[in-house]
Structure formats: structure tokens, C-alpha cells
Amino acid sequence: QSALTQPASVSGSPGQSITISCTGTSSDVGTYNLVSWYQHHPGKAPKLMIYEASKRPSGVSNRFSGARSGNTASLTISGLQAEDEADYYCCSYAGSNTWVFGGGTKLTVL
Amino acid sequence: QLRLQESGPGLVKPSETLSLSCTVSGGSISSSSYYWGWVRQPPGKGLEWIAYIYYSGNTYYNPSLKSRVTISVDTSKNQFSLTLTSVTAADTAVYYCASYWTPSGAFDVWGQGTMVTVSS
């Protein structure tokens, strides 16, 4: 059970769109739609942003969207805002009631 | 609204046992819609799922930690707990408790996290 692969960092200017990828295997992302994304501001509790690959919890801005294709999931943030600057983690079900997270991506809003 | 709060010692000696508790408020730990779990983040690294438990006592563990981890639930206190034995410096991390909401298939509410350092 290896960690999902995410880019270490991405950046964008206010108003732009960015996409963070999350690559797994046929044992996790490639088989199960149970992919979720979390926003983490250091020192705070992680916040669920996307579940079941593309669904948004109530209260999460529609600027956040998710997708999944093959062994890769992605999180897109449109209309970047300064408050979006944070670490983002993907998570996937890996079978047999186990879960695997990605290594995290630091988003910098320029 | 569900809230989770971790508690436990911030310093543990190598080879000893790490014990943490998570108190659930704003909801019942006996809810059939939730599992209760632990996730950790070593300094400078990503998140790692440790384990989760159903209120009935069914437990599920990360295979890489299974031999050292026990998760338990105390419905009378609305708490669940984590023990990690034979700790080393590699177990130094921020430990989060989180609720897994089955309808969403995701960890929907997290505690603030508690830093645990393994050092003599």
C-alpha cells in the first residue's frame, strides 16, 4: 500500500485556475470512486473539499471541482483566491477497509 | 455539529506506548453512519491513515502499523482511543482523529490534531 502521488507544489495567480493531480494504482484510485480531497491550513483541522471523486460537501465553494479517470484523480480550483493557499491531500479507498493518502501538494497563490 | 478533540501526552519515550483519546461532541459515537479513525502527519510529510473503528467494535488497521496499533471505543464516554506500542522517532507526528461518514465515503470532520514527539 503506497502513498498516492501528488505534485509537491503548484502555484497560480488570483483569478486563475489550477489542477492538482493524484495518481494511484489499479488497487485504489483505478478501482474505487471513493476518492476525497482535503484542504489543510497548517495548524488547523483538515477540511473535506471533495468526496466520491467529484461531489462537493454542503458549504464548499463551487470553485472546487474533482474528477477521476483511470488511476488518476484531480482537483481543480477555479478563480483562485488568496484564502485557497494551503496544502491539499487526496485520499483513496484501497480495499479491505484500508485507506491511502497522497503526499500532499502545497498551493501558493502568487 | 460534530466536533472532535484529541488528548494525550505530547512526549513519549522510545520503546514505550503512545496513548491518545478523542472526545466526540455534537453527536453520538454510536451513530450507525460513522466510523471513527486516526490519521497522522510526520513533520514535513504527508498524511497517513492509521486505523478506524465502528461503534460496535469492528476495527480496521493500516497493514504497515497493524502489529503495533490498537483502536478502541468507549460509548459511555463518547470517546475512542489509539494505542501505539514500541514507538520510535519515526512515530513523531501530529495525530488527528477524524470521523468517517459512510454516506460520503470520506473523513468529513477532523480534530485540530495533537503533536506527539518520541524522544528520550
Q: Which three cell numbers stand for residue B46?
A: 504527508
Which residues of chain B make contact with A52, given a CB cutoff of 8 A? 104-106
Q: Distance, in angstroms, between A35 CA and closest chain B CA? A: 8
> HSE (CB half, 13 Å, CA atoms) of A59?
3
In terms of C-beta density within 10 A (0-12 exposed, 13-18 middle, 19 or more buried), how is residue A22 classed? buried
pLDDT above 90 as % of chain B: 100
pLDDT for A1 equals 75
- For residue A34, list chain B residues with Cβ-Cβ distance below 8 A: 105-106
The span from the CA of B2 to the CA of A106, in Å, is 28
- Interval A5-64: pLDDT, tens: 999 999 999 999 999 999 999 999 999 999 999 999 998 999 999 999 999 999 999 999
A48:B108 CB<8 A: yes
Is B48's CB within 8 Å of A101's CB? yes
What are the backbone dihedrals phi and psi of residue B62, each rounded to the nearest 5 degrees, phi first?
Answer: -65, 125
Q: How far is CA B45 from CA A22, A25, B40, in A?
A: 16, 21, 10
